[in-house]
A and B are shown apart, each in its own frame.
Chain A
Amino acid sequence: MADLLSTAVSALQTYRRGLDTTSHNIANVGTTGYSRQRIETVTREAMPYGNGWVGTGVDVSTVRRVYDEFVTMQARSSTTSYEEQAAYASLAERINNLYASSTTGLSATLQKFSNALQSVANAPSSSSARQVMLSEANTLAAQMNSYATTLNGIASELNQRVTSGVNEVNSLATAIADLNDKIVVAQNRTGQPPNDLLDQRDVLLDELSAKVAVTTLRQDDGSINVFIGTGQPLVLGRQASKLVIGPDEFDASRLQVSMQTTSGAVDVTKSLTGGEIGGLLQFRDGMLEGARNSLGQLAVGIASLVNEQQAQGMDLHGQMGKALFAVGGVETLRSANNTGTGSLSVTRADATKLTTSNYRLELAAGTWSLRNADTGAAVPMTGSGTAADPFVADGLEIVVPAGAVDGDEFQIRPTQNAAIGMKVLFTDPSSLAAAVPVIASTASANTGSGRLGELSVVDATNPALRTTASIVFSSPTSYSIDGGPAQTYVPGQPIVANGWSLMLEGTPAAGDTFGVKDNSTGVGDNRNFLTLADRLGKPYLDDGKTSLSGAIGRVVADVGVQTRQAQVSRDALAAVQQDAIAAKDSVSGVNLDEEAANLIRYQQAYQAAAQVVQVANETFNTLLGAIAR
């Protein structure tokens, strides 16, 4: 028999559940990741009568989480992309700010050095001008150091962030595995989805995908499997794997991430993409590596150009000039897996041929081969790798260890350490070699029209460089030096001897004499620094294609372009992420007005059901009253 009272009570219970759920929704309006819940109602089974089926009330079939897997996944993947770019951009901006100033930047400092150089050229015997130039040299070196230190600081900060990111991934993985466990248990016990636990797990997955890109696979028992990289399982059911941070094969200061599996640790560094960790690693291998190497290349370029010219000059003491700058050497790193012995020796042979790349040198089947560490492209080498005949490639001279065995690998970083080690080598301003060590003269009795042109040093190491030499013309086209064999004079071609090269203008006559001698009295000589100032503005790096200031410009432009790209894509992805989250919110988020409406709806239904109970009661009383009368 259909029972009015029990039907009413079923309604009371159902709408009470509705009010509870609405209240839960309202209570969690501010809870991150909370999905609104709805009661699903079904009619109770009707009772058959001869005149038809009579309904028996209502039941709550389930409390449903309003949730759309697709929009949730979209929000998650947009978070992964956004966090990757945000991490990249935040570090790129640091480098960008380093290169920001046009008045105190590298370009300005190099120009100040060049200006100070010209001030010495203005008055080579003035010690104050020389002092200023030395201090500009120190400023230049200090600025190189400070840039390199900042870049190194970013590298070590990056290491810390990767480490803490990996720790977070590990604790999130553990928490997800725990929740998997709880969810499976709860679902088994009730057969109903444990909505709040599912929400909590989704929040953890959101947090995880902000750190690194993940793929998830839902299981029938309610648990979820999580994979990272190229499919390495991070969470399988109630089991979480562990990511570990270890030193790179070549460089202990460089971190690599590996996953502990039953078959040992697997290096997943290269396959970790997306999220904060992905962005950090991408930044480390891309922009940061590039910025450090190009700064180093610049330091090597400045030092070697200035030192080359110093070596050709003569200082105020009458000595041949010595090197002004020192820079950090080439870094050679052996693989931790090498079984051979001995160390690799690499030196910079030609600063103009250096690149901003790192290299990988390996011995396979008895043959050494060199590859570009960034692109993997083979780099041709000449020579045989011995001390007498080293391998030569990209401006480097490589002497390989005799004790190496097949499979040994080395990493070569030609420029990375250069800027941090840049320093000025002397403090005596008189050691600046503004002068050329030789000077030419014309005999006063000369009758021809030959006049002295430029005299320059071509080989500063020639021991006879500064000995007095006399060039005597026996005819306008023939001369001998210090009574030596007759040589043919070609107008427009320099006379080269003893490491110097002398140009003549006009036509010398027979019997004309020109002299070249030591210039130790030439304290007012600025010729060497004029040449240096000139060379500082001329193409030098990249095999004589890029000037130093051009290289600075290129670094600044590169940094600017990369930072801008990162900022633009970060901003674009932020919009995408906001949209995706809004889409998810529009499905799952709590709307208070809606809940208020529901509150009213359920309350009214509840009140109506209560009225039905009242009617049932009165109906029953009516019946009882009729009998009692």
Chain B
Amino acid sequence: MTARISTAGQHYRSLNALLNAQSQLARTQQQIASGKRVLTPADDPIGATRIQDLARQLSASDQYLANNDVARSRLSLEEQALADVSTAITRIRELLVQGSTDTVDYESRQMIRLEIEGRTQEILDIANRKDAQGEYLFSGLATLTQPFARVAGVVTYFGDQSQRMQQVGETQRVADGDSGAEVFGRIDEGNGTFVTGAAAANTGSGSVSVGSLVDRAAWTGQSYTVQFTSATDWQVVDSAVPTPNVVSTGTYKSGDAILFGGVSVAISGAPAAGDSFTVRPSGATDLFSSLDRLVSTFATRTDTPAAKGQWRTAVDGSLEQLDQAFDRILEMRSSVGVRLNMLDVAQSAQEDAALNFETLISDVRDLDYAEAVTRLNVQYTGLQAAQKAIANVGQLSLFDYL
């Protein structure tokens, strides 16, 4: 026996089928209209969480790219500033070499001195440059404090020694600058190991070279004095207290290297008996005081043999000092270059990641249109059929034949 079907039940059954078909159709329509497969978390709880997570990472990636731009713009400005400083130092070195030949007379040297002064001021101005936001490039974290200013004639640093980092990847940070102390300060004196000098009381015209370290193992880091016992004999004493030890003696020949304690220095000219020259371990200096010293050296007259000897020692020292500063700037430029390169790598990594996130989000969230449109057609046909069924079945009644 087949089940009976009540007239109302038959109607409700068809109606339910119709309503179901309608709601499925509406859902597909909504998906097609929005282009999304996952409309609410309930549609795909795992997918929805994943979409949110991916969207968050995508947004983070965009921020890393923005951070990258900020770091790049500051580093590019620093790179430009360092290039300008290099140019200025190169020019000063040329002037120094030009002005240090004996054929240049005092008046011409003053002209050169004026240009060196101008160039020094130029470097000072570069050191006080600001970025687009009005922050100083070289004052560390004290970005609104002017880093360098002359106080009683001496250029003083007012910034701090820190670097600001920028987050350019989830775990990657890049410093967006260097402090003025790092770039212009803490430059080694002399040749980096020791500094030579002529005693102020010297009466001969002897001058001492910047020297070099020939035997690192023998260098003990103490100070030495080369003393002329006569115009032709020298002895080297160490800094032992109270009685210095004589570590070496010799006969003077102008320009010959004098070797002791791993050090090689050459003394030229005609030192007088009682003259002495010093060798002491390097300390730190900064670019501006080196330049100021050079300017004052150039302002000195060299009328006496003694003055000439002092002057020659100072000029040789300044030249070495400039080269040290130039090396530092080169070092900083290459450090900045490395960082810019890191930024490039980080940028392309983040761009790839962002693209990847977008693809993944689209995979999880977006609708397969071909599938959806096919589904829409099937559901549309289903709905039509359900409507037809209601209309047709409703017409069948035994009462029509009574």
Contact = CB atoms under 8 A, between A and B. Distances in A.
Interface stretch (A243-251, A421-429, A554-562): A554-562
Contacts of B185: 444
Interface string A88-99: 000011001101
Contacts of A554: 49
Given A100-B41, A118-B167, A590-B7, A521 B48 contact: no
Given A557-B46, A560-B49, A589 B8 contact: yes
B142 to A, nearest CB: 4
A556 B56 CA distance: 14
B274 interface: no
B6 A589 contact: yes
Given A118-B63, A560-B44, A108 B52 contact: yes
B284 interface: yes
Interface in B127-180: 133-135, 139-145, 160-162, 164-167, 170, 173
Interface stretch (A54-62, A299-307, A591-599): A591-599
Interface in B40-91: 40-46, 48-49, 51-53, 55-56, 59-60, 62-63, 66-67, 70
Interface in B279-308: 283-284
Given A115-B63, A121-B167, A560 B7 contact: no
Contact of A596 (B63, B66, B166, B397): B397
B186 interface: yes
A114 B62 CA distance: 12
Contacts of B41: 96, 99-100, 556-557, 559-560, 563
Interface stretch (A122-130, A137-145, A210-218, A355-363): A122-130
Contact of A525 (B55, B141, B361): B141
A523 B60 contact: no
A34 to B, nearest CB: 9
A508 B402 CA distance: 114
Interface in B343-360: none
A121 B6 CA distance: 74
A525 to B, nearest CB: 4
A439 B55 CA distance: 37
Contacts of B241: none
A111 B7 contact: no
Contacts of B144: 125, 521, 523-524
Contact of B45 (A525, A527, A564): A564
Contacts of B167: 118, 121, 530, 533-534
Nearest to A122: B70
Nearest to B40: A100
A588 interface: yes
B16 interface: yes
Nearest to B10: A591
A588 B160 CA distance: 93
Contact of A522 (B70, B160, B170, B173): B160
A152 B133 CA distance: 46
Interface string A546-569: 000100111011011101100100
A468 B164 CA distance: 21
Given A537-B170, A589-B9, A103 B40 contact: no
Interface string A56-89: 0000000000000000000000000000000000
Contacts of B49: 553-554, 556-557, 560
B179 to A, nearest CB: 10
B59 A524 contact: no
A474 interface: no
Contacts of A588: 6
Interface residues of B, number: 62
A440 interface: yes
Nearest to A112: B59
A524 B402 contact: no
B217 interface: no
Interface in A503-550: 519, 521-527, 530, 533-534, 537, 549
A553 B57 CA distance: 13
Interface stretch (A1-9, A159-167, A226-234, A578-586): A578-586
Contact of B66 (A100, A119, A552): A119
A452 B143 CA distance: 19
B392 to A, nearest CB: 15
B13 to A, nearest CB: 7
A281 B17 CA distance: 31
Given A553-B52, A591-B5, A561 B45 contact: yes
B60 A125 contact: no
A567 B23 CA distance: 14
Interface in B1-46: 3-9, 12-13, 16, 39-46
Contacts of A523: 141-145
Nearest to B58: A111
Contact of A29 (B8, B135, B140, B283): B8
A413 B361 CA distance: 37
B365 interface: yes
A600 interface: yes
A103 to B, nearest CB: 7
Contacts of A597: 398
B45 A591 contact: no
Contacts of B45: 556-557, 559-561, 564
A582 B55 contact: no
21 contacts: A96-B41, A99-B41, A102-B55, A108-B55, A119-B66, A125-B133, A444-B284, A519-B160, A523-B142, A524-B141, A524-B164, A525-B162, A526-B164, A557-B45, A560-B41, A560-B44, A561-B45, A563-B41, A581-B12, A582-B13, A586-B5
Interface of B: 3-9, 12-13, 16, 39-46, 48-49, 51-53, 55-56, 59-60, 62-63, 66-67, 70, 133-135, 139-145, 160-162, 164-167, 170, 173, 181, 185-186, 283-284, 361, 365, 397-399, 402
The 3 closest A-B pairs by CB, nearest first: A589-B6, A524-B143, A560-B41
